[in-house]
Amino acid sequence: MGIDQAPTWRGDPDAAALLEQDLHAAARATESFGSMQMGPWSIHLHTSDAMFEKVTGAPPQRFASWVGATLHLRPIEKLKRRDLGTILRHELVHRRLLSLNLRPWEEECRSLYAEGHSRPPESWPTPPSKVIQDRLDLALCRGTTTSQAWAYAWLRAWIAGKPLPPGKLTRVPAHESWKPDR
């Protein structure tokens, strides 16, 4: 499976040379999560955090973000401080799952799981209640940094079979851009 259609590289002129090996390794490591979505796609390695945040609307804690068929990445200096393979595995699984029309929480938990595993588990834990599923979806799609942190903590605990964070999240705004929590 791998990457049937190579991405177009944008942004940093050395992007392909800097990322291609890690990208192919991530593609091989995520093959069992599904086929790559067909069609053109691109990777934009930004040269500044400001441009990454302007284009994606992402908070400072996020290192990668899909906007349509373009995977936007923070500048290489920032990516070098993280495990690039983990970031790319996570993001490629999002692309692999596009055609499945999963709920946001389901897609995110599979992407989180792929960060450290080369194949999905034999079975997933019992799905959360509809109320929790709805809260997770809202937090992931339109939540503040606090509600998104809650959702990621909840999903990581659920995947690992650990005690779940309390469902303190009672309301997620209809739309709110990220902002630092006080």
The predicted-structure confidence for 78-87, as pLDDT tens digits, reads as follows: 999 999 999 9
**138 shares its domain with 69:** no
Overall average pLDDT of the 103-130 stretch: 95
2 within domain boundaries: no
What pLDDT, on the 0 to 100 scale, is given for residue 172?
47
**131 shares its domain with 75:** no
**79 shares its domain with 136:** no
115 within domain boundaries: no
**89 shares its domain with 165:** no
* Residue 33 near residue 107, CB atoms below 8 Å: no
CB-side exposure of 54: number of CA atoms within 13 Å?
6
The DSSP secondary structure of 22-48, one letter per residue, reads: HHHHHHHHTGGG-PPPPS--EEEE-S-
**77 shares its domain with 131:** no
Overall average pLDDT of the 150-176 stretch: 74
**26 shares its domain with 75:** yes
* Residue 164 near residue 153, CB atoms below 8 Å: no
d(CA 132, CA 165): 11
CB-side exposure of 171: number of CA atoms within 13 Å?
4
pLDDT band at 61; cut points 50, 70, 90: confident
User: Does position 177 have pLDDT exceeding 60, yes or no?
Assistant: no
d(CA 20, CA 160): 31
Give residue-wise pLDDT tens across range 19-47.
Answer: 999 999 999 999 999 998 888 999 999 99
Rounded to 5 degrees, what are φ and ψ at 71?
Answer: -90, 115
**70 shares its domain with 145:** no
25 within domain boundaries: yes
Q: For residue 175, what are the domain limits?
A: 125-182
Mean pLDDT of all residues in the chain?
88
Rounded to 5 degrees, what are φ and ψ at 167?
Answer: -80, 55
Which residues are bridge partners to 64 per DSSP? 73
Domain count, the chain: 2
What pLDDT, on the 0 to 100 scale, is given for residue 33?
95
Lowest-confidence region among 136-140, 146-150, 153-157, 164-168: 164-168
111 within domain boundaries: no
**77 shares its domain with 27:** yes
**94 shares its domain with 16:** yes
Percent of the chain clearing pLDDT 90 (strictly above): 71
Record the pTM: 0.87
108 within domain boundaries: no
**79 shares its domain with 133:** no
**90 shares its domain with 42:** yes
CATH code of the domain containing 50: 3.30.2010
What pLDDT, on the 0 to 100 scale, is given for residue 181?
47
**36 shares its domain with 91:** yes
What pLDDT, on the 0 to 100 scale, is given for residue 149?
87
